[in-house]
Amino acid sequence: MAIDVAELKSAMKDLLKEDPYFLKGIILDAISEDLMTKNEFAKMFEKLATKEDLKMLIEMFNKRFEAIDKRFENMQRYMEKRFEAIDKRFENMQRYMEKRFEAIDKRFEDMNKRFEAIDKRFENMQRYMEKRFEAIDKRFEDLQRYMNKRFEDINKRFEDMRYYIDRRIGFLEKLIVGFNLPILLLLLKLVLA
């Protein structure tokens, strides 16, 4: 990066006319400590501007700008390496996260399979229980029919027994009345006589 000498001379003259200490401060701050110390530069700058001084100053500015360009290039290479490393880390992290998500998906699929198996077992158990309850219902219905038949038989036997008892009691009543009738007639005769 080259500096136009004529522009620099005119700019420096204008600045020196306005404020000679301002330019001195800017130049002192711009010079790095590895080229020369501020005190050395200040001593050199005290003897103001011959053509050689300006030429030397321009060369120092050019060296300084080259050093700054070199530092920026180094910094840019360093930043590129850092960004590449960060990109690599992000890629590795992304691959790791993808593997983790795949493992999680697989675990969810396994859990879904287990739930499906459990659902199937519940369905089988439900069908089995329905069959069992149907068999129990059938047994209760058979038992109910049997009990109804038994109670009908018992009722029939009670009716037969009642009919038999009624017939026997009727016969006994007739006998009692038949035996009591002559006694009653006798008593009536006695009471009436």
Are the CB atoms for 65 and 3 separated by under 8 Å? yes
Q: Determine the pLDDT at residue 174.
A: 74
Q: Determine the pLDDT at residue 31.
A: 53
Residues recorded for the chain: 193
Copy the structure tokens of residue 169.
């009691």
Q: Determine the pLDDT at residue 190.
A: 83
The span from the CA of 53 to the CA of 44, in Å, is 9
Can you give the pTM of this predicted structure?
0.36
Copy the structure tokens of residue 158.
């009670």
Q: Long-range pairs for 137-141 at CB < 8 Å and ≥24 separation?
A: none
Residue at 102: amino acid letter: E
**Residue 31, number of CB atoms within 10 A of its CB:** 20
Q: Which residues of the chain have pLDDT under 50?
A: 1, 32-34
Going by the DSSP 8-state scheme, the letter that residue 33 receives in this structure is T
* CA distance to 33, 45, 185, per residue, from 24 (Å): 16, 8, 174
> What are the residue boundaries of the structural domains of the chain, listed by start?
5-95
